[in-house]
Amino acid sequence: DNITFPLKLLKTPKEEREKRAKEVAKLVQIEELLDRKPAELSGGQQQRVALCRALIKKPDILLLDEPLSNLDAKLRTLMRAELKRLQRRLGITTIFVTHDQVEAMTMSDKIALLQLGELQQYSSADELYNRPLNLFVAGFIGSPPMNFIDVSLEQLEEQFLLKNEDIAIEVPSKIGKLIQSHSRDDEIVLGIRPEDIKIDHKNGEEAEVYVVEHMGMQVLVTVKLGNLQIKVLATPPFTKEMGEKVKLHFNVNKIHLFDKNT
């Protein structure tokens, strides 16, 4: 009755209601649960029932408003895959509302990222990650988040440096000239993701290991570079201890540049 209720409101014949209930229950793999009461179902099973109620009407568009927010981490991972598989199979345009960037990145064809009701960027997950349009998008997408460093542009003959009192990064002349044509030299924010910084490069910036967080396949290292704290993703084994010195190399092909005022 729970699943077929929308059809009951439409005065759909009982035989048709039951037939379609079995069809959608099979789609989300809960055929054996049709006779159970809601209190007898797990959180994931209840979410599947709610999805059945939406699907039984054969909608042109599905709107799912944070459907996984009350599930534990393991079940969320399972349901993400199930929902994506189901959407591909049915071909129904689905709008999925979430505050979880992992859900958005893993499940979507396109993401509309909003801040305070205003659209910041609408594009694929890859586009959001690799070509964020502004500081909000760059800081929201990615875990661990992007490092942001206030810098100014300095030109020494044909050499261009992005620098502050703690750091100096040489960039190709085409990037330096592009910055000069689009922004004031002293209103630049340099963004770089932790995976685009390498530790122990021979000719890098000297930094001090501040915190080491082992995460299995990766090691998240926070380093101090003067007054800056920068996060770096390293690969195991990582043997440096807190307080030891390391060298950092910034991949200039992966840096993101933002105007501080936009």
pLDDT in tens, 211-250: 999 999 999 999 999 999 999 999 999 999 999 999 999 9
Q: Give residue 251's domain range.
A: 147-259
Q: How far is 57 from 42, CA to CA, in rounded Å?
A: 24
237 part of a folded domain = yes
- β-partners of residue 86 are none
Tell me, yes or no, whether 253 and 190 share the same domain: yes
Query: What is the mean pLDDT of the segment spanning 190-196?
Result: 97
pLDDT at site 200: 77
Residue 147 has pLDDT above 90, yes or no: yes
Are residues 255 and 177 located together in one domain of the fold?
yes
**Cα(77)–Cα(73) distance, integer angstroms:** 6
84: domain CATH number is 3.40.50.300
Contacts of 89 (CB under 8 A, 6+ apart): 27
Q: Report pLDDT for 58.
A: 87
How confident is the model over 160-184, as a mean pLDDT?
Answer: 88
Question: What is the token pair recorded at 227?
Answer: 């007054």
Given a cut of 80, whether residue 184 has pLDDT beyond it is no
- The whole-number pLDDT of residue 236 equals 92
Domain boundary among 109, 139, 161: 109
Same domain for 153 and 244? yes
User: Do the domain assignments include residue 10?
Assistant: yes
Confidence of residue 185 (pLDDT cuts 50, 70, 90): low
Q: Is residue 114 part of a domain?
A: no
Which one, of 238, 200, 199, lies nearest residue 216 by Cα? 238
- 255 and 200 together in one domain: yes
253 and 158 co-located in one domain: yes
Query: What is the total count of domains within the chain?
Result: 2
Same domain, 170 and 230: yes
Residue 218 covered by a domain: yes
